[in-house]
Structure 1
Amino acid sequence: MNVFDVADILVNHIKANYSEDIAIVAYYGSYAQGTANKRSDLDFFFIPATPKGLQASIQFIIRDISFDFWPISWERAERMALFQESQTTIIADCKLLYVRSAEDSERFMKLRETISVQQESGNRRKLVEKSELELRNVYVHLYKLSRASDSLNLTFYRIESHAVLTKVLHSLALLNQTYFTKGFGKNKDQIVHLPIRPDRLESYMNTIMHSYIAADILQACEHLTADTLELVLAQKEQLSNAPSFPDRIKGFYEEEKGILDKVATACEMNDYDTAYFYAVHAQEEIARFLYFAEKGYWPGELMINSAYQSIYEQAGLPALVSLLDSKNLSQLQAGVELLSSLLESHLKFKGVEINRFQDIEQFEVFLRENTASSLS
């Protein structure tokens, strides 16, 4: 059977019944890449132009070959082109079978231009951030693996480790500003030749895919994820802007002082619950902002907090969390007052201007002078 005869039938069907309702018909996969075998199906998709066009979707089998004529909205195609979904190759490498109009053709070609733009150096930071977000999705599967009590249930470990592996690999593709041109199982050559990849990537993959020992599979998943996170953080550091500590943290102290005052007030009122929530929040927030001011990028959600709390400690700021004591809030009150003073001094030493005024008149003069300066 010539699968393209099936394609001709579908296209003629579209022309006869959905000529104004379907914008694009295309195929992708093995036939588009010249790697088809006797069992390969023809991977179709179409972009509907109207709600009626959705009705053309159909799944069928001819001579034991399966076919799936499925819809992709323009919006989803745009997400693929922006690397927001992993199937970018569907848009980048497909072959067109039918185009409703010149406008539809132009819109589709712009999607391919978008893919090229995403791979330019100006978009590197954006894709590194997407890589980190994709890696975050791995941790729910790592959690399930680490909590599993039945190490003999290899099926469970295979399924969860498969999720870990595919998500980490997608994260690595984004980190390299690329996409996989072939499906998993056929793309190993592209994977092992990614410029930015864990040194033991192939070894981890082999353990995850071939091992019969649950503990080894879990360990490989954990190491693969940790090594990939290290690469993501290294790329973020390389992409950080030139040092500009004062600009990065401008206005922070003035806002944060309100939180510190809430802690002090809670201590005075012996309100441990309020003191607890605001004290922990304050130390975490100050540590994150100081890290950003020093590094030029925010600590990611996957970063162990000790990595950025160390900057807080190096600044000589008191650890509010360690002062929490429901039976005696006086130490926390003294600590938060000291923190407020030391933080302001630290920021001033770093060149940060603090908008502090003795009275309303002084604030009014500041506004007048600042406005005149900005307008001149």
Structure 2
Amino acid sequence: MDRAVAMVQQSILGKLGEEVDLVVRYGSSHTQATHPYSDLDISYVPVHESTWDSITVMVNEVMIDCYPIHWSRLEAMAEFDDPSATVLLRNQIVYQANEEAAQRFRSLPERMAALQRNEARPEMLGKAMLIFRKTGYQYYLLRKQAEAGHRLSCLHHARNILSTVVHCVMVCNQACIDTRKRDQVLSLRLLPAGFGETLADVVNQTDPHALLMAVEHLLATTRSLLLSEQTATHRSRAGFPEVLDSAYPELKGDLQHLMLACERGDMYNSTLTSLLHELMIHMAQVVAGVEYSEFNTVSEY
């Protein structure tokens, strides 16, 4: 396998030369956890975001797919915005253009560790909420395809939703796991109610309507977990003077826009919802002691 790594490294450097900052090996072949169908995970880090060259070869029945992992994606992993964060913890640099590039790469796990500390809990919960919101369009597509009875489309969108939810739950736990490994997912401390059974239902269902129901239950229980953690984590002790003082510019702006729309007879822009939303969310911050956000609906304030 080392010979194969050397061959791929030589090929990519021969093709791209100084455009390569690093060549990195990771995955099961690096961690000695291979199985009969394991491939060789090796990637290069290009200098520029515009570089997308790749090499795919077979060596002794082992597939080797050397593709670029850009610095922006590595940094997203370090921020837990990309679910493949374990790459940063278990790897081997097999080529470095210079020590600066190697140190930049080696420093990324420090950023991950900082986000796993107690003081980063509010930030990580906010990230989990943002990730969860990404399920919206896939859920819309799943509903449309379930109505049409298109089995393959439903299976595809359900899997996309499941991957996003598992990423969300990982971040909610401030953990770094291989989200493709079911046992690692189920070992997390914080899980949606009945997560094991719901996970099995989403994975095993093939009927479009039954699959839609399973995914809806997955989304509902995951959101309930996030709401519970929000109540416990995003606490506020601010009083009315402090909260309304900071909210004053936005509240005044909403009121002025409403008054202008009324004077012009502009029904398209004459709405109270923005003003009432801003007022209610800030009042709830004082009364309930919770900092609500765009993750919440108005009835939850």
| Kept after mapping to 2: 8 A contact 1:78/1:111 | yes
| Aligned partner of 1:80 among 69, 77, 90 | 77
Q: Tell me the equivalent position of 1:339.
A: none
CA 1:300–1:161: 2 relative to 1, 3 Å: farther
Q: Tell me the equivalent position of 2:230.
A: 236
| Kept after mapping to 2: 8 A contact 1:240/1:295 | no
Within-5 A mapping of 1:42-61: 42-49=40-47, 54=51, 57-61=54-58
Q: Tell me the equivalent position of 2:274.
A: 281
Q: Tell me the equivalent position of 1:124.
A: 121
Deviations along 1:127-148, one digit per CA (max 9) or x if unpaired, are 1111101100112222222334
TM-score, scaled relative to structure 2: 0.87
Structure 1, 55-64 or 106-115: larger mean CA deviation: 55-64
1:260 pairs with 2:258: no
Report the Cα distance in structure 2 between the residues aligned to 1:148 and 1:140, rounded to whole angstroms: 12
Q: Tell me the equivalent position of 1:176.
A: 173
Q: Secondary structure at the match of 2:176?
A: coil
In the alignment, structure 1 segments of 5+ residues that lack a partner are 309-376
Q: Tell me the equivalent position of 1:28.
A: 26
Report the Cα distance in structure 1 between the residues aligned to 2:142 and 2:99, rounded to whole angstroms: 51
Structure 1, 104-113 or 240-249: larger mean CA deviation: 240-249
Deviations along 1:160-191, one digit per CA (max 9) or x if unpaired, are 1111111110000000012323x62xx11111
Q: Secondary structure at the match of 1:177?
A: coil
Aligned length: 300
Report the Cα distance in structure 1 between the residues aligned to 2:136 and 2:99, rounded to whole angstroms: 45
1:247 pairs with 2:247: no
| Aligned partner of 1:216 among 188, 210, 215 | 210
**Deviation at 1:209?**
1.2
User: What amino acid maps onto 2:211 in structure 1?
Assistant: I
CA 1:249–1:152: 2 relative to 1, 3 Å: same
1:70 pairs with 2:72: no
**Deviation at 1:153?**
2.4
Q: Tell me the equivalent position of 1:318.
A: none
Q: Tell me the equivalent position of 2:155.
A: 158
Report the Cα distance in structure 2 between the residues aligned to 1:50 and 1:151, rounded to whole angstroms: 44
Q: Secondary structure at the match of 1:276?
A: coil
Q: Tell me the equivalent position of 2:219.
A: 225
**Deviation at 1:247?**
2.0
1:94 pairs with 2:87: no
Report the Cα distance in structure 2 between the residues aligned to 1:265 and 1:257, rounded to whole angstroms: 12
Deviations along 1:188-210, one digit per CA (max 9) or x if unpaired, are 11111110001211111111111
| Kept after mapping to 2: 8 A contact 1:19/1:100 | no
| Kept after mapping to 2: 8 A contact 1:25/1:46 | yes
**Deviation at 1:77?**
1.3
Within-5 A mapping of 1:304-315: 304-308=297-301
Report the Cα distance in structure 2 between the residues aligned to 1:45 and 1:37, rounded to whole angstroms: 20
| Kept after mapping to 2: 8 A contact 1:249/1:293 | no
Report the Cα distance in structure 2 between the residues aligned to 1:76 and 1:13, rounded to whole angstroms: 23
Report the Cα distance in structure 2 between the residues aligned to 1:83 and 1:67, rounded to whole angstroms: 26
Q: Tell me the equivalent position of 1:147.
A: 144
| Kept after mapping to 1: 8 A contact 2:48/2:70 | no
| Kept after mapping to 1: 8 A contact 2:261/2:270 | no
**Deviation at 1:253?**
4.2
> What's the RMSD between the two structures over aligned residues?
2.7
Q: Tell me the equivalent position of 1:103.
A: 100
Q: Secondary structure at the match of 1:115?
A: helix
TM-score, scaled relative to structure 1: 0.71
Q: Secondary structure at the match of 1:37?
A: coil
**Deviation at 1:214?**
2.4
User: What amino acid maps onto 1:45 in structure 2?
Assistant: S
Report the Cα distance in structure 2 between the residues aligned to 1:92 and 1:138, rounded to whole angstroms: 27
Q: Tell me the equivalent position of 2:131.
A: 134
**Deviation at 1:276?**
2.9
| Kept after mapping to 1: 8 A contact 2:56/2:64 | yes
Q: Tell me the equivalent position of 1:343.
A: none
CA 1:34–1:296: 2 relative to 1, 3 Å: farther
